[in-house]
């Protein structure tokens, strides 16, 4: 079993355990393994034997196929959308959104480049999920620290040369942090009320997270999980989000 498959299976087991309101210790006892082994399985750091998979499926009254359905879902989604085109990039819209985000929260001590990347990602992908059309159309690549906007370095260089941004470094709890300060106001005529509402919602919910927390949070979102390393994230993957990440309303069951 590959490391990726281990992670997917571990996540599915953890989700089922929580749905059945079992502790790791209780589930481990039922399977017949130590609790640390159960913890490693859920973290995707330990391979699960065929006999253990069968026992886990029995405990949750599920078939082995059902136990693995999240992995199948990811594979099917990737196969369906692997050739889908990214939205057209609107460079000027991206600049105005960046200025707006920095005006609203760029001065927060936790908002360095890493946090900024994730805020822009959730703004673009949440908007696409809600309205099935791009906001800025920026492409985001999967890297170790979560989604990263592909055009960001060139955009900020242009804006610094134009006198619209200033790049500074700061110390944040002993870590060197890149920050960007807006020197001009955003052109709000280029940001619709609908777009502004999505941006504000993302900033209200996520802009207080530090780099580690927002990175870990982005790693659980389906577009990042479906992409391979260094691959551009597929906007269509938002329609495979779990309810915890989806910004659409789910009916009560």
Q: Would 60 be classed as within a structural domain?
A: yes
Count how many domains the chain has.
2
Q: Which helix (H) or strand (E) holds 203?
A: helix 193-206
Whole-number pLDDT of residue 244: 87
Q: Would 75 be classed as within a structural domain?
A: no
49 lies in the same domain as 129: no
157 lies in the same domain as 232: yes
Q: Would 155 be classed as within a structural domain?
A: yes
197 lies in the same domain as 150: yes
196 lies in the same domain as 138: yes
Q: Would 150 be classed as within a structural domain?
A: yes
Kindly report the pTM of this predicted structure.
0.67
All residues at 6 or more sequence positions from 104 whose CB lies less than 8 Å from its CB, including other chains: 200, 203, 207
All residues at 6 or more sequence positions from 178 whose CB lies less than 8 Å from its CB, including other chains: 112, 113, 167, 168, 169
Q: Would 192 be classed as within a structural domain?
A: yes
Under-50 pLDDT residues of the chain: 71-72, 80-85, 250-253
116 lies in the same domain as 45: no
Q: Which helix (H) or strand (E) holds 166?
A: strand 165-172
Whole-number pLDDT of residue 225: 87
117 lies in the same domain as 18: no
**Three-state DSSP state, 148:** strand
Whole-number pLDDT of residue 251: 41
Q: Would 168 be classed as within a structural domain?
A: yes
63 lies in the same domain as 178: no
Residues 88-102: tens digit of each pLDDT = 899 999 999 999 999
Whole-number pLDDT of residue 198: 97
99 lies in the same domain as 222: yes
61 lies in the same domain as 9: yes
Q: Would 250 be classed as within a structural domain?
A: no
Where is the domain boundary, 20, 52, 67?
Answer: 67
Where is the domain boundary, 52, 67, 82?
Answer: 67
Whole-number pLDDT of residue 1: 56
**CATH code assigned at 48:** 1.10.260.40
Q: How many CA atoms lie within 13 A of 108 on its CB side?
A: 20
205 lies in the same domain as 124: yes
Please give the Cα distance from 112 to 39 (Å, whole number).
32
Domain range for 47 is 3-67
Q: Would 211 be classed as within a structural domain?
A: yes
Whole-number pLDDT of residue 252: 40
41 lies in the same domain as 96: no
53 lies in the same domain as 98: no
Please give the Cα distance from 135 to 190 (Å, whole number).
11
């Amino acid at each position: 079993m590959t490391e990726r498959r281990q992670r997917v299976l571990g996540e599915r087991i953890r989700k089922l355990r929580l749905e059945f309101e079992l502790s790791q210790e209780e589930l481990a006892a039922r399977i017949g393994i130590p609790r640390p082994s159960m913890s490693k399985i859920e973290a995707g750091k330990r391979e699960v034997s065929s006999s253990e998979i069968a026992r886990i499926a029995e405990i949750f009254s599920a078939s082995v196929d059902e136990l693995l359905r999240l992995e199948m879902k990811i594979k099917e989604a990737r196969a369906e959308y692997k050739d889908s085109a990214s939205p057209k990039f609107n460079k000027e819209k991206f600049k105005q959104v960046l200025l707006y985000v920095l005006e609203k929260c760029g001065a927060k001590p936790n908002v360095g480049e890493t946090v900024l990347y994730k805020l822009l990602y959730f703004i673009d992908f949440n908007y696409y999920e809600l309205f099935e059309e791009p906001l800025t159309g920026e492409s985001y690549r999967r890297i170790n620290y979560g989604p990263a906007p592909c055009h960001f370095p060139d955009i900020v260089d242009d804006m610094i040369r134009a006198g619209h941004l200033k790049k500074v470094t700061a110390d944040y709890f002993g870590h060197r942090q890149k920050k960007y300060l807006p020197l001009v106001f955003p052109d709000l005529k280029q940001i619709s009320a609908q777009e502004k509402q999505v941006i504000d919602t993302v900033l209200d919910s996520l802009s207080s997270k530090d780099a580690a927390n927002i990175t870990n949070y982005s790693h659980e979102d389906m577009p990042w999980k479906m992409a391979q390393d260094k691959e551009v994230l597929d906007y269509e993957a938002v329609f495979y989000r779990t309810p915890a990440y989806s910004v659409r309303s789910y009916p009560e069951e």
